[in-house]
Every structure is written in C-alpha cells, then in structure tokens.
Structure 1
Amino acid sequence: YAAQKENKQFVVINDKKDKSYDGVRNIVFSPDGRRIAYGAINKGKIFVVVDGKEGSPYDGVRDIEFSPDSRRIAYGATREGKMFVVVDGKEGNSYAGIGKPVFSPDSRMIAYEASKGRKWHIVIGDKESMGADMYYAPPVFSPDSKLIAYIEQHFKDKKTLRVVSSTALMGRKAGKEYEAIGQVVFSPDGLRVAYGARRDGQSFVVVSNFAGDAEKESYAYDSVSNIGFSHDGRKIVYFAKKKGRSLLGVDEEEREYKADKMVYLPVFSPDDSRIASVAMKGGKVFVVVDGKAGLLCDDIAPPVFSPDGSRIVYASRREGRGVVIVDDKEGPGYELVYNPVFSPDGSRIAYRAIKNGLMFVVVADKNGNVVKEFPPYEFIWMHTFSPDGKFIVYAAKGKQELWWKVEKVENL
C-alpha cells in the first residue's frame, strides 16, 4: 500500500518501507504475486519502479501491465508530447496517441492501438495494421496466441468491422458491417469468435469461425451482453434484454429470468452440461443453476462447480454475515469468506474466512459442513488442494513473517 510521511510518499511491502518519493501511484502486482511495480514521481518526472529498480524518467506513465507469466512488464509513456510503449525497459516507436498494451497469453507479444496522422493502427512489435478512424476496444489475442482480433470504425463509410488476422498482421479477414460492435471473445479452442453487434436499432450476437467466412446472427434483441463460450467451444452463451424480459441465451435456446440484470459471465460445469449464472433483482443477487433460482443474498462471488459438475459452491454475504453456500445450503457465518474451491475428487471444500479480524482456512465436506478450522493468521492467500486431495496448501502472514503452510486434510 501507499503511505505518506510529511511531504513524501512511499510504498509499504510486507511491512517494509520502500524508497520515498514526491508521489507514488498505480501499484500493480504480477499475476504470481511475487513482483510489484508502481509509478513514482520526483522533480516533476515520473518513472516506473519494478522490484525496487527505477526505470527511465518520463513526462507521463500509464497502464502498467505484467505479462501472464509475470516475467515481463509493459506500460505507456509520454515524452515531449510523443507517446510510446515501454516493454522490459525498451522504448517502442513514438506515436501521437496510444492505447493500453495487451500481452498475448504466451507472454511473447504485445499489442496496442496507436495513432499516426489521421489514422489509428494496431501495433504488434514493429508491424502495424492498415489503419482505421478508430478502434472500439483493445485488441484480443486468441488462446494459442496465433491470432489477433480487433474492431475497426470507419467514419466516412459509417461502418464498424470485426477483423481477425495473424499476429504478424497478415491474412486480414473482416466480418459483416454493423453500426456498432462490442468486445470480441475467442472460443477456448481459438476456432471461433463471438461478439455483440447493433444494426437498425436491434442487437445481435454474432458467431463466426476465425476466418470470418461462416457468420451467424442470433435472434434480434434490445441489448446483448456477457457473451462467452463453453469449455469445449461448442456452445455460446449470453445475456439479452427483449421487450422488458431478461433472457439467458444458450445457442438458439432462450431461458427467461425474473431479474433486473445479470452479473458476471455464465459459468459452465466441467463437462459443459450445466450452466450457472448470477442475477440481480431489487438490489438482491442470487445464483441461477439450470433455470432454478437460489437464495437471495446481498453479494455473491462467481460460483464454482465441483469436478464432476454435480454440486456448486460460492462465497456470499447474507444478512450481514459472510457465508459459503453449497447447493442452496448455508455454511456457518463469518465476518467474510473468500474463494471456495473443491478438492480434486469433490469430497472436500476449502475456503478462507475472517473472524475477530484474523484469517484462517476452513475445510468442509461436500455438503458444506465444517470439518476443521485451521489456525488464524493476519492474512492468508493462494489456498489450494494438493493433486491427490490429501493436503491443503496456503501462504500465511503473521508477526512480520511469511510461511508456506501444508496441512493434512485426509481422514478429517
């Protein structure tokens, strides 16, 4: 966290004070939690500090991003009116404007929007796309990092296009023209893309293969959102509004919900046979599984299916208490609960809970009945079962010390 003493600001990491600056901003942790970066200001200049090492000074810095593997870092920077992306300390080409840098899933490439003259381009390395008047959203890599998708707007022709190309920005394939297009989503296998589109006052979900030569529109709706694919990429799911009705679309099937809106992306069971979603009505939220509404709650985290898909668990806040709910059955109440996960065989559930200001790991049976509460600490994170399900592993902090804890859960 950032702190201030007199006229200086500094970052505190694990109770240790970092170097003081005129100001600090935008603290970012790497995905693995082991690295930290932030912007620091001294004498009117700003630079990025990564793991305690200061980068070059600039007039401005924005969008600090770690790669998925946590090994690389990128951010936007400004100097004398020119903008560029800095990757691992190396400055890229200068542009009049830039968008947020996006890492590929394999962490090897970075894509971003950049303006030059009157056109905006997608930039990957030293390659630039042909250009458009505007790009509606940041570019999206396919899961295998071989393709890139983006949305072009052409003002003169009053058209918006979905484009898919190779990451070398070759083999460009454009979809149908629409008035507006939402964020593009790749299927897990990378063979299809889906997105929301608008034409003549109506909204559609559009699904096409990566080449863009086999497109299909959904029924017409007033609005569409939260588009996603099943694990195997064969099913498309989305939320829609039509004449005041709230609908969950699964391919060509529509399921109506008595809800004001939907929250989060729908979640598929591991075998894709079941779907869970979170809906909101009258300020309350509830989980809907296979069309059946669950308990009303004040807040709900995304639900999780058991490995065999037969059960579902989620953390919630209900009547002022943090509770874990398994198939509509409440567990005990705590101040807060976090991240319930099933063991590999689905026989146990583990989650973090807070009581009296301290955090501890709770292990419950598959029905949510508490089997054991492990000792409390100041903070606990990254709890997980061992592959054989016999142990629970987590990181713990207490008395300015950090530990990796391995607790036996077999035969509890």
Structure 2
Amino acid sequence: MWLYVGDERRAGPFECVCSPSVSARGGRVAFAGIRDGRRYAYLDGKEGSAWDYVVIPVVLSEDGGTVAFAATQDRKSFVVRDGRRGPAFDQVRAPVLSRDGKHLAYAAQQSGAWRVLVDDRAGKSFDFVDDPVFSADGSAVAYSTGFQIIAGDSVLGPYDAVTAPALSADGRGIAFGRKSAGRWALVLGGREQPVDGDLERVFVSADGARVGGVVSRDRKLGVWVDGQRRGQFDQLDTPVFGPDGRRWAAAARDGFSWFVVTGDAQYGPYGDVGTPVFSPDGRQLSFGVRVGRELRWSSVPLP
C-alpha cells in the first residue's frame, strides 16, 4: 500500500495507511502506518519511532507546524507532541489541537478515573469524559462528563444527560444538549430550547448567536434549528453554520445515497460526499462527491 498526495506517490509501501490527515492550509500529511508489524506515526512520509500501538488519527495544526498522536509502549499510554512524550497513563484517547497548534487537550484514564489534560495540566477526575473541544481562537476548551459540562472553571449541570458541547469562535458561547425529566433541550447562553426527539449532537454559529442540533426520532436523524426539524436520514454528519450564521449545511445519507442538505435545498444523490465548506461570504457551498468511480469537486451557489 502506498500513500499518494494528488497524483504524486509520496511514501510506501506499507501494510496499512491509516486515516491520513492533511493540514488545513495544505502541504503536510500525517498518518498512522504499519510496517513489518510495528506501528509508526508518519509525517510527510517520514517515520518516527516504533510503538506498540498508535491511536488514529495523527493530528496536525492548520499550518502543519504541530503534530500530535496518542501511542502505547510497554503497556503505558501517552501523547506525543512534536516528538516529545507526555505523562504516562493506563489509557489515552486521540488528542485535539487548537487551530494554531499552540494548545493541546486529550482525555486520559488512570486506575479507572478519567480526566482531561490541557497542555499536560490535568483537570478533575470523573467516571467518564467526552473528548474535549477548543474554540476557534484556542482561548477556551470544554467537555462533557455525561451529566455535566466543564468549561474552564465553570460547571454546568448536573442533568440527567448531556451531549458533547460546542463553542463559539471566541469561546464565550457554550452550546450543548441537556436531558431533564425525560425531555431534551438545546442550551445556549443559559437559554433553553425544547426539542422533539433525542439530541445526539449540537453545533453553534461562530458568533454564538444561533444553535442547532442533530435529533433522533423513530430511528431517523434530522436537523433541529429555530424550533423546527428538517430531514429524515439514516446517517447525518454534524452540520456547520456559514460564516454569518444565517445558513447551515451537512452531509447526510438516506439508504445507499448521500446528499448535501441545507435549510433551503438538497443536493444529490451521490455515491459518497465529503464535509461541505462555505465560501468566506457564505454565498457558495463546496464539497467533494463520488459519482460512480469518479471523484469530483462541486460548488453550488446558495439561494
């Protein structure tokens, strides 16, 4: 197995090329690979040290200047950031980088207790924690314990259950789903919006003004925004708001066909589809699709 970037063969052969990651600004590629039965993290086709196990994905900052991954060696697990090993635990999950690569967070377990570490500083221990999320500017990090939302020194809850949180670009807006007395609601800035169905995930606009969720009802998934449910799908990726927060878009599957859906339109069917991306002015939507054996890049103007 070989790694190709565009039409150029960059590295190989390997027994496995696992979950390649490309820096958002392009130019750098990282992945976990297997060669001669050993696990490696590769950056630009160059292998690092051999490990007993490498957790996928290997993550890159947007500019490609920082690379991090979780690994296991001699029954101890840790995060490796730019070649430097962090503290050892019984188990660690794949790390998360802030967009500029200056901050790193991950969940780790020791003796049955889970905690989130931010730049190797450990938080409080819980029976369970979700993977942490950063705000776009890297100033805030938040995560769920299953019953509470932890955001810095703030604790929201407890509730019967909560979803993983989503943060506005500046980290001031915290959105999440909460369940109380058997009913789910979207929460943003302390204000609650009841939803009809079970909340799976939430998403928030960059300015923190709008919130939406993925809801499940009758074994079908839909998008809940502004008090209304849109669509009934078998699989639904987490939607994203456009730059101005007016529109949202998501990739969704109905049966064997994939679509790109917005609040106003549906595009497809396709054999497969990637995450849709808004243009900077929010007036155009672009996404990769598979039609038969062909891969295409599609751009559509928005109404």
**TM-score, with structure 2 as normaliser:** 0.73
Indicate how the Cα distance of structure 1 residues 63 and 255 shifts in structure 2: closer, same or farther if over 3 A, else same: same
Cα displacement string for residues 280-324 of structure 1 (whole angstroms, at most 9, x for unaligned residues): 112211111111111222222222333333333323223653333
Cα displacement string for residues 250-297 of structure 1 (whole angstroms, at most 9, x for unaligned residues): 2333222221x32333232x4332222211112211111111111222
Indicate how the Cα distance of structure 1 residues 140 and 345 shifts in structure 2: closer, same or farther if over 3 A, else same: same
2: CA distance, partners of 1:216 / 1:262:
20
Q: Does structure 2 conserve the Cα–Cα contact (< 8 Å) formed by 1:314 and 1:325?
A: yes
User: Which of these residues, 18, 21, 26, is aligned with residue 29 of structure 1?
Assistant: 21
Q: 1:290 and 2:226 equivalent? A: yes
Q: Does structure 2 conserve the Cα–Cα contact (< 8 Å) formed by 1:82 and 1:97?
A: yes
2: CA distance, partners of 1:233 / 1:17:
38
Deviation larger for 99-108 or 220-229: 99-108
1: CA distance, partners of 2:48 / 2:128:
40
* Partner SS for 2:274: strand
2: CA distance, partners of 1:319 / 1:252:
37
Cα displacement string for residues 308-360 of structure 1 (whole angstroms, at most 9, x for unaligned residues): 33333323223653333232433343333333333333333323333232122
Instruction: Give 2:200's aligned amino acid.
Output: V
2: CA distance, partners of 1:63 / 1:319:
31
Mapping of residues 66-77 of structure 1, within 5 Å = 66-68=59-61, 69-73=63-67, 76=71
Q: Does structure 2 conserve the Cα–Cα contact (< 8 Å) formed by 1:136 and 1:151?
A: no
2: CA distance, partners of 1:258 / 1:66:
36
Residue 66 of structure 1 and its aligned partner are, at CA, apart by 4.2
Answer with 1 or 2: which has the greater Rg.
1
Residue in structure 1 matched with residue 179 of structure 2 by the alignment: 241
2: CA distance, partners of 1:193 / 1:328:
32
Q: Does structure 1 conserve the Cα–Cα contact (< 8 Å) formed by 2:107 and 2:132?
A: no
* Partner SS for 2:276: strand
* Partner SS for 2:163: strand
Q: 1:263 and 2:200 equivalent? A: yes
Matched residues, number:
295
User: Which of these residues, 92, 114, 118, is aligned with residue 140 of structure 1?
Assistant: 118
Tell which has more relative contact order, 1 or 2 (C-alpha 8 A, sep 6+).
2
User: Which of these residues, 235, 248, 254, is aligned with residue 192 of structure 2?
Assistant: 254
2: CA distance, partners of 1:280 / 1:29:
30
Unaligned runs of 5+ in 1: 3-10, 121-132, 142-147, 154-159, 161-178, 368-412
Residue in structure 1 matched with residue 55 of structure 2 by the alignment: 63
* Partner SS for 1:254: strand
Mapping of residues 12-411 of structure 1, within 5 Å = 12-13=3-4, 24=16, 26=18, 28-31=20-23, 32=26, 34-42=28-36, 50-57=43-50, 60-63=52-55, 65-68=58-61, 69-73=63-67, 76=71, 78=73, 92=85, 99=92, 102=95, 105=98, 106-107=100-101, 135-141=113-119, 150-153=122-125, 194-196=142-144, 203-205=147-149, 210=152, 212=153, 215=154, 217-218=156-157, 220-259=158-197, 261-268=198-205, 270-318=206-254, 320-367=256-303
Instruction: Give 2:122's aligned amino acid.
Output: Y
Q: Does structure 2 conserve the Cα–Cα contact (< 8 Å) formed by 1:83 and 1:95?
A: yes
Instruction: Give 1:262's aligned amino acid.
Output: L
* Partner SS for 2:233: coil
Instruction: Give 1:318's aligned amino acid.
Output: D
Residue 136 of structure 1 and its aligned partner are, at CA, apart by 0.6
Deviation larger for 100-109 or 292-301: 100-109
2: CA distance, partners of 1:331 / 1:289:
19
| Percent identical residues | 26
